[in-house]
A and B are shown apart, each in its own frame.
Chain A
C-alpha cells in the first residue's frame, strides 16, 4: 500500500516535471524556430490568432489559374507548416505535384505565407515565409531554389518521388 502510494507520487511528479520541461521547449521552439504556437500542446493558444498558412502558386503556362490544391498531400507532407522553417526536401515539393498533376514539368513558383500577429498597430497579416522556384530539366527530374525563413538553399529530386 505504502509503496503503491509512493510509486504514484513519483510517477505524477515525473509527469509534471516532463510537462514543465515540454512547456519550456515549446516556448523555445516558438521563439527561435517559429513553431506554430497553437500546436504540439498549444501553449500559445488563444494568445494570438492561429498562424495558418496559405499556398500561392504561379505555374508557367497556367497563369490563368488562381487556386491550387494544397490538400491532402502537400499539407500533410509539409506538416501544415507547423514548423515553417524546416528545410525543404524533394518529397515536400513532390507533394505539390501529387495534388496538382497538371503542373508537372512546368516551372513553378510557390509562395507560402503564414498568418502573423503584431500589436500597435494591432494587425494580423499573411507574411511570406517560404519561397520556392521549381524547374524541370527533364520529365523525371526537378530542381529547386528555396528561401525558407531567410535561409537560401538548392536541391534536386526525382519524379515520381
Chain B
C-alpha cells in the first residue's frame, strides 16, 4: 500500500487529478464513473476539483492503510473497509480478478482465513470478471 502511494506521489498525476479526469472522459466504460462530477471540456482543459479530491483521497487512503498495516493494526473493521475499497477499485477499473488476488493477500497479511461470505463474494467477482464487467454494464445500459 505504501509503495502504491509512493508511486502515485512520484508520478504526480493524482494530487492534482489529471489521471482521474482522463479516465473519467476517455477511459473504459466503468472508469467513466466519475465523469458526471464536472463538465467534460472544462475538466479536460483546466482540471476538475472533484477529480483532484478523488486523487488525493486515493493517495491518502493508501498511505493510511499502509501505515496501519505496518504498525500491526489487524482490526476486522480495517479488513472489512479495505476489502470494500478493493472491490470498489476492482469495479472502477474492471479488474475484479486482480482484486480477488489482493483480497487473498490481505487475508494472509491479517492472519485470518478467507471467511465463507468473502469466498462467495470472490467467486462472484471471478464469474463477473469472466464475462467482463464492462460488457455486462454495456449490455444492461444498451451501449
Which residues in chain A, 111-153, are within 8 Å of chain B measured between CB atoms? 117, 119-124
Contact (Cβ within 8 A) A119 B46: no
Return the chain A residue nearest B47 by Cβ: A120
Question: CB-CB < 8 A to A119: which residues of B?
Answer: 13, 16, 18, 22, 47
Question: CB-CB < 8 A to B44: which residues of A?
Answer: 121-123
Question: CB-CB < 8 A to B14: which residues of A?
Answer: 47
Is residue A55 within 8 Å, beta carbon to beta carbon, of the partner chain? Answer: no
A-B contact count (CB 8 A): 46
Query: How near does chain A come to B37, taking the closest CB pair, in angstroms?
Result: 14
CA distance A45 to B8 in the complex (A): 9
Contact (Cβ within 8 A) A27 B10: yes
Contact (Cβ within 8 A) B19 A47: yes
Question: CB-CB < 8 A to B93: which residues of A?
Answer: 46
Question: CB-CB < 8 A to A27: which residues of B?
Answer: 10
Contact (Cβ within 8 A) B26 A124: yes
With A47-B19, A48-B19 as known contacts, state yes or no: A121 contacts B11, CB within 8 Å: no
Return the chain A residue nearest B26 by Cβ: A124
The digit string for B41-76, where 1 denotes a CB below 8 A from any CB of A, is: 001111100000000000000000000000000000
Contact (Cβ within 8 A) A122 B7: no
Is residue B99 within 8 Å, beta carbon to beta carbon, of the partner chain? Answer: no
Which residues in chain A, 36-89, are within 8 Å of chain B measured between CB atoms? 37, 43-49
CA distance A48 to B7 in the complex (A): 11
CA distance A124 to B24 in the complex (A): 13
Return the chain B residue nearest A118 by Cβ: B18
**Which of A23, A44, A122 sits near B11, CB closer than 8 Å?**
A44
Since A23-B3, A47-B13 are in contact, a sample of 10 more A-B pairs with Cβ atoms closer than 8 Å, ordered by chain A residue number, is: A44-B11, A47-B7, A47-B8, A117-B19, A119-B18, A120-B47, A121-B44, A122-B25, A122-B45, A124-B22
- Complex A-B: 26 CB contacts under 8 Å: A43-B7, A44-B7, A45-B7, A47-B11, A47-B19, A48-B11, A48-B13, A48-B19, A49-B22, A117-B22, A119-B16, A119-B22, A120-B18, A120-B46, A120-B47, A121-B44, A121-B45, A122-B18, A122-B21, A122-B22, A122-B25, A122-B44, A122-B47, A123-B22, A123-B44, A124-B26
Nearest 3 Cβ contacts at the A-B interface: A47-B11, A119-B18, A122-B44
Give B contacts to A, CB under 8 Å. Answer: 3, 7-8, 10-11, 13-14, 16, 18-19, 21-22, 25-26, 43-47, 93
